[in-house]
Structure 1
Amino acid sequence: MASNELELLGQADQARVLDAVRRGATRRDLLGMLGAGGMAAATAGGIFGAAKEAVAQTPRRGGRIRVSGTSTSTADTLDPAKQSLSTDYARCNMFYDGLTTFDGSLTPRPALAESWQQEGAKVWTFKLRRGVTFHDGKPLTAEDVVFSLNRHKDPATASRARSLAMPMTEIVATAPDEVRITLDSPNADLPVVLATFHFHIIKAGTTDFSTAIGTGAFTCREFQPGVRSIAQRNPNYWQAGKGHLDEVEFIGIPDEQARVNALLSGDVQLIAGVDPRSVRRITQAQGHGVFETKSGYYTNLVMRLDMSPASNTDFVLAMKFMFDREQMRTAILRNYGVVGNDQPIDPTNRFFFPGLPQRPFDLDRARFHFQRSGVGSTSLPVVCSPAAPNSVDMAQVMQQTGARIGMNLEVRRVPSDGYWSNHWFKHPIGFGAINPRPSADILLTLFFKSDAAWNESAWRNPQFDQLLSAARAETDEAKRRQMYADMQVMIHNESGIGIPVFQSMLDGHVSRLRGLSPIPVGNLMGFDFAKHVWLEG
């Protein structure tokens, strides 16, 4: 709309208006300027609003911000291979680049690799971008890429991404600006894998990570593990139009209320991990706002198909029809989420299947299946914990709903401490909480493949496993899309996983901070905010 209002003016008048607004012209000033030419006040007012928005969305160089993540540790690292906390991801994204990067649909896009080709999804050739230099002035070469990728395979590196790197059986430089990667089996998602946090490119031979020498939009001025890092703008950054701020200080404040207090007091200008309950407090404070990223993050009901009562198909269906999804979205998430459909691919994912009929909240059908299950009035413990966000509230909603059909659910709340090791999918009925994953393949392989270590509901389907393997090797996008659609239908119909809602990720910020846009692998633009944001003048 803003651009349409400005288009009422000729090019010269547009430039004159935008310049005036940049220099601080008020609405009254602009009304006088445009009214002198006979323009109606309402039209002139609309142009002023459009001009202000256009100026605000024009990146401005300069300024400094302080940012808080959700965690901090003396084990904080600048070694891309050893990143384990969100603070590591945000920090390393300031200093390093990967061969590829994600857009808002989690489609891999060129970064240090300007292009790539594949043969049967098994042999991949990446052409490197020319003119890229490390922070110390050394040019990027294929040798750096080979070193960076191979070190993940070395057990001595203790890389967090070793399992993702091991299928790369050969990584060789075929030219100074070209790298060939051969896999042990076809994987059409290799560019997705290379866009994940751990596969940043470092200089060949690097062993000292007390500082960061990367190709990123910022250089490392200071790094104190467990305390802070300070990043300064890289004047030689290869990507035009990125890296606007002069300096970014990054810290970690684990307590959510303390983070909110730091934002509202002016101590920081951007925070990750805002609870929906805190949104009103932030948005009602002048000069502050909340940024929402719709994502694949979900807290799910886990019903073990190899344990009673979920070994009974009718019981599982009764529970799924009992989800009052809209109530959970509005009352628990305060509208910061989207309704789920008992399968894990969310609407932001490029392989989401919109044609799957939505399972409704239907107490009549829930009652029918529950009566057929023969479970009766037996007390059924539902294990929940604050460790699985919102699971306690969800369990209480289900307990109340279940009573309406004669189901006797007992909410059994356990402490956060030890939940994931002692309780997660160890009970007939409980909850999990699954962070966004960068690809459908990784998500489904980790949580739904028959032999997956984290197959929460113990659902096993050989046809699903075969389809998952075939989709990984398929390079035709349309065929892959249909395969993932078929898998979503299978999970929806057969698994013991109930996904009532996908939860948005929320960040708080000062209103002057511009340039935020969703990248749904995490808070803070997938932890890659620094190169994109700027401060409005």
Structure 2
Amino acid sequence: MKSSVSPAQRAAPPRSRTTSAMLLAGVLLTSSGCAVANSAGGDTGRADGRTLRVVLTQEPPTLEPCEASLTGTGVVVRSNITEPLVERDPTSGALNPLLATGWKQTAPRTWTFDIRSGVTFQNGAPFTAEDAAFSIDRAVNSDLACNVEGYVFGDEDLEVKAVNDGSLTVTTEKPDPILPLRLSFVEVVPRTTDAKAKVRVPIGTGPFAVRSWQPGAAISLDRFDDYWGKAPDFARARYVWRSDASVRAAMIDKGEAEIAVALDPMEAEKDTTVAYPNNETTALRLDGREAPLDDIRVRRAIDLAVDREGIIDALLGGLAEPAGQLVPPGVVGHSDQIEPPRQNVAKARALVREATADGVPTDRQITLVARNGMFAGVSETAEALQYQMQEIGLNVRVRMADTATQLQYQLRPLPKNVGPIALLIMHGNQAGDAAFTTSQYLLSDGPQSTFGTDALDRRIASAGAMSGEKRQKAFADLLTEQNQSVVQYAHIAHMNGLLGLSRSIRYEPNSATGDEMRLAEVHSAKGAKH
């Protein structure tokens, strides 16, 4: 759904979408090569009808369950190998029972969970409330520095107690109206799991178990025959990875894979591809610790320089919507009142000139860091943003980075003595609540924030204690405030994913597919189990 344009924005109309697309294409022709879909090799496995073959953009950095909120890990681990107590329906937002059959708030700071009986781990051990308590304690209260701890729980520790095999209590430091939602991110592992070190091959209660992980080649899973739920159609699954989108698409065409993720928009017209809103939002995070990005006029100028519609049309195949905030529609806290800024080069140049006149070193080189494989067309998008920032008088260079390097720039502790950084990020709010975005990206000391204000910090804390309509309004208001008084982000687009699907399978992607692709939801087109 496209946002309408306010009268104030109409006063300075941007370049037309057609002209923008032509300009972006022209700027990038000299530096963008054409990829050739070379052979996928023999490590994908044969099309035997029993193995579901999935091709990813890159090898998962880890299969450690407490890191499953990382997209590269979660897409393999979540709800396939391991499971949480509670799962969120990605379409309705409703919380559904999984390893917990029910829950209720039994005191202002305490929630009680009923634990499902008859569940077995892949090592043969029975699942009880003790395993659930151990898993929460290991992920949230330990020194493992799990991503789920920072992303979902921040600095808060939980008091966890197994009352008996079938009952668990979780007590928070202060009342938390969305604790069950937070716990949907904690994957359950056996209490025999190493509590002092992250594991390479996880054990869980999910429908698939890890058979092997060949570094640099493939990850293979086997169907877990003692799974407590409905058995998946496929007996095996095999993940491989190819960084080139055209190669991933060719693997579907050649019958070398059943599912290929993150295809290039140029593949959108095929009957073997399907587009879906993937809850991801792209943005430039502007490091306010360093000049010239420490000046709000420069940050606001960058926000006005971005040609969102041109980038979407020319580089993203139209498979996105212009963004003015970090959370897309459907997430609690999304504001329908925030309209994506329209490009206004003249106003942006004037802001840069004003800052320059006041002594801001606007000629200092800004490094625009982007991650290879983040989305189809990421390098071209980075180059377009570089051009648009240079158009308003800024000095910008692009640095394309691998995942490990990009994470050094994205997560605290942030690198020092690297100069001003504009980091291209893609944020997916898997949980459907703006609390998970604001605690990470807007708090002044948030794990993925470079700066903020005390006033905004107080508003974030206040909104997090609310529920219902009050919660929705409070978060929408503070997202508006970020755009007015902080401008840490130049938002670009709410993204759509493009999935390649073999004609031999049936699968309907949803907004969670990019973060947790549930293999049990993939069915044979012939309707038979294999």
Q: Same fold (TM over 0.5)?
A: yes
Q: How far is 1:345 from its partner?
A: 1.5
TM-score (norm 2): 0.74
Letter in 1 for 2:445: D
2:123 and 2:519 map into 1 onto residues whose CA distance is 20
Q: CA deviation at 1:324?
A: 2.1
Partner SS, residue 151 of structure 1: helix
Q: Tell me by how many angstroms 1:210 deviates.
A: 7.8
Q: Is 2:321 aligned against 1:338?
A: yes
**Between Structure 1 and Structure 2, which shows a larger proportion of helix residues?**
1
Q: What are the Cα deviations for residues 286-310 of structure 1, in whole angstroms up to 9, with x where unaligned?
A: x6224433323313152x4454444
The residue that corresponds to 2:66 in the other structure is 81
Matches of 1:128 and 1:502 in 2, distance apart?
A: 37
Q: Which residue of 1 aligns with 2:23?
A: none
2:399 is matched with 414
Are 2:362 and 2:395, in contact at CA under 8 Å, matched by a contact in 1?
no
- The percentage of aligned residue pairs carrying the same residue is 20
Shift of 1:485: 0.7
Which residue is equivalent to 2:478? 487
Q: Which whole-Å CA distance do the structure 1 matches of 2:202 and 2:383 have between them?
A: 48
Counterpart residue number, 2:82: 96
User: 1:379: how far off?
Assistant: 4.2
In structure 2, the partner of 1:454 is 448
Cross-structure match for 2:304: 321
Alignment of 1:109-508 (within 5 A): 109-118=96-105, 122-135=109-122, 138-152=125-139, 155=142, 159-163=146-150, 167-196=156-185, 199-206=186-193, 213-224=203-214, 226-240=216-230, 243-277=232-266, 279=267, 283-284=269-270, 288-300=272-284, 302=286, 304-341=287-324, 343-363=325-345, 365-366=347-348, 369=351, 372-373=354-355, 375=357, 379=363, 381-387=365-371, 393-394=380-381, 397=384, 407-416=392-401, 418=405, 421=408, 427-428=419-420, 430-438=422-430, 439-456=433-450, 458=451, 460-474=452-466, 476-496=467-487, 497-508=489-500
Secondary structure of residue in 2 paired with 1:180: strand
Identify unmatched segments of 5+ residues in structure 2. Answer: 1-48
CA distance in 1, matches of 2:222, 2:326: 39
Tell me how far 1:481 sits from its aligned partner.
Answer: 0.5
The structure-2 alpha-carbon separation of the partners of 1:108 and 1:381, relative to structure 1 and needing over 3 Å to count, comes to farther
Using the alignment, how far apart are the partners of 1:273 and 1:440 within structure 2?
25
TM-aligned CA deviation for residue 532 of structure 1: 0.8
Question: What is the CA distance between 1:315 and its match in structure 2?
Answer: 3.9
Distance change >3 Å, CA 288–CA 301, structure 1 → 2: same
Quote the offset at 1:202 in angstroms. 2.4
TM-score between both structures, scaled by the size of structure 1: 0.73
Structure-2 change in CA distance of 1:139 and 1:315 (3 Å): closer
CA–CA separation in structure 2 for the residues paired with 1:493 and 1:138: 54
| Higher alpha-carbon deviation: 332-341 or 146-155 | 146-155
CA RMSD in angstroms comes to 3.6
1:365-395 deviation digits (Å, cap 9, x = unpaired): 4466456545599646442244275676456
CA contact (8 A) 1:167 1:185 kept: no
Q: Residues 101, 370 of structure 1: CA spacing in aligned structure 2 closer, same or farther, 3 A cutoff?
A: same
Structure 1 segments (4+ residues) deviating >6 Å: 208-211, 422-425
- Quote the Cα distance in structure 1 between the aligned partners of 2:208 and 2:386: 51
The match for 1:64 among 42, 46, 51 is 51
> Take 2:220 and 2:379, find their aligned partners in 1: how far apart are those partners?
39
Task: Say if 1:294 and 1:90 are closer, same or farther in 2 by CA, change over 3 A.
Answer: closer
Q: For residues 258 and 339 of structure 1, what CA distance do their matches in structure 2 show?
A: 28
Distance 2:222 2:101 in 1: 25
Give the letter for the 2:476 counterpart: A
1:112/1:316 Cα in 2 relative to 1: closer, same or farther (>3 Å)?
same
Structure 2 residue matching 1:250: 3-state secondary structure: strand
One-letter identity of the residue aligned with 1:329: I
Which residue is equivalent to 1:528? Answer: 517
Q: 1:87 to 1:494 in 2, by over 3 A?
A: closer
Q: Would you say the 8 A contact 1:121–1:473 is kept in 2?
A: no
> Structure 1 391/148 Cα, relative in aligned 2: closer, same or farther at 3 Å?
closer
Q: Cα–Cα, structure 1 residues 120 and 493, in superposed 2: closer, same or farther, change >3 Å?
A: farther
